[in-house]
């Protein structure tokens, strides 16, 4: 047992590609490729902003990534389309087992620590009836993105956990696991795709097929 269980949100609890259906409605035969480009640019852009010490809120980065993803796929779009698609990001679908995570850890508080802004995360929980399951910590508060060590230090301080190893941090994103592990958290990589761990010279403490492995 750990003193704290901390979860990444995007790609770990919520399927970022569940926007594909909405994209496909608007842009037939291009929904999947737009979704993939949107996510790729979203991660790429916040990494760049962190490297140049030029923080922008995650919702703005997500919007910028969407615009460029649409342009890359050569589709016509209007401002109303952007608003509708950004709203879809507040309705991402949770993975099948997310609703039962609390059943596995009934005596523990569960925390989301995400690069997402509170204005993105709270509606996401509300829209999926999960607001009573998770509390939220956002990298928007210290204005430092994961996977920088200062971001995880902020989370540990807010959780009031003395030893970093007593935090189990779960993410499907290798860059996030590498950052958390490097900081000192105990880590669990949620590997739903049965992928190979990348050659980062940092390895997760645990590899889960999904969140049911918390049993």
SS3 of 39-96: the string is HHHHHHHHHHHHHCCCCCCHHHHHHHHHHHHHHHCCCCCCHHHHHHHHHHHHHCEECC
212: phi then psi, degrees, rounded to nearest 5: -65, -20
For the chain, the average pLDDT equals 97
Go through 172-209 and write b for each residue having 16 or more CB atoms within 10 A of its CB, e for each that does not.
Answer: bbbebbbbbbebbbbbbbbbeeeeeeeeeeeebeebbe
What is the CATH topology of the domain spanning 16-90?
DNA polymerase; domain 1 (1.10.150)
At 123, list the tokens: 């509606």
State the pLDDT confidence band at 107, using cuts at 50, 70 and 90. Answer: confident
Q: Is the pLDDT of residue 24 over 90?
A: yes
Closest CA relative to residue 27, chosen from 64, 61, 72, 63? 72
> In the chain, which residues fall in CATH 1.10.150.240?
16-90
Q: What is the predicted pLDDT for the residue at 73?
A: 97
> In the chain, which residues fall in CATH 3.40.50.1000?
4-14+92-214
Q: Which residue has the tokens 């796929």?
A: 73
Please state, in angstroms and rounded to a whole number, the distance separating the CA atoms of residues 66 and 57. Answer: 14
Under a CB-based contact definition with an 8 Å cutoff, are residues 151 and 131 in contact?
Answer: no
Please state, in angstroms and rounded to a whole number, the distance separating the CA atoms of residues 208 and 38. Answer: 26
Q: What is the predicted pLDDT for the residue at 1?
A: 87
User: In this structure, are strands 206-208 and 110-114 parallel, antiparallel, or unpaired?
Assistant: unpaired
Per residue in 153-194, pLDDT (tens digit) is 999 999 999 999 999 999 999 999 999 999 999 999 999 999
Q: Is the pLDDT of residue 215 over 80?
A: no
The stretch 33-61 carries a mean pLDDT of 98
**Dihedral angle, C-alpha 208, 38, 62, 126, nearest 10 °:** -50
Homologous superfamily assigned to 4-14+92-214: HAD superfamily/HAD-like (3.40.50.1000)
Per residue in 183-206, pLDDT (tens digit) is 999 999 999 999 999 999 999 999
- From 8, 15, 140, 176, the catalytic residue: 8
Please state, in angstroms and rounded to a whole number, the distance separating the CA atoms of residues 25 and 100. Answer: 31
Per residue in 53-67, pLDDT (tens digit) is 999 999 999 999 999
- 8 tagged catalytic: yes
Please state, in angstroms and rounded to a whole number, the distance separating the CA atoms of residues 174 and 39. Answer: 15
State the pLDDT confidence band at 211, using cuts at 50, 70 and 90. Answer: very high
């Amino acid at each position: 047992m750990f003193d704290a269980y901390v979860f990444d949100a995007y790609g770990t609890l919520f399927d970022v590609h569940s926007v594909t259906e909405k994209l496909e409605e608007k842009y037939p035969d291009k929904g999947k490729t737009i979704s993939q480009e949107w996510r790729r640019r979203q991660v790429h852009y916040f990494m760049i902003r962190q490297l140049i010490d030029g923080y922008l809120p995650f919702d703005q980065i997500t919007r910028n990534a969407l615009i460029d993803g649409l342009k890359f796929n050569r589709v016509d779009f209007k401002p109303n389309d952007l608003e509708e698609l950004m709203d879809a990001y507040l309705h991402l679908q949770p993975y099948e087992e997310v609703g039962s995570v609390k059943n596995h850890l009934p005596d523990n508080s569960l925390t989301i620590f995400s690069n997402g802004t509170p204005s993105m995360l709270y509606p996401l929980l509300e829209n999926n009836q999960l607001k009573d399951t998770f509390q939220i910590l956002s990298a928007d508060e210290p204005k430092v993105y994961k996977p920088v060590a200062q971001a995880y230090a902020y989370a540990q301080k807010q959780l009031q956990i003395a030893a970093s190893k007593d935090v189990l941090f779960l993410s499907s994103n290798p860059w996030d696991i590498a950052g958390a592990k490097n900081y000192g958290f105990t880590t669990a990589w949620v590997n739903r795709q049965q992928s190979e761990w990348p050659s980062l010279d940092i390895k997760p403490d645990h590899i889960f097929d999904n969140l049911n492995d918390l049993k």
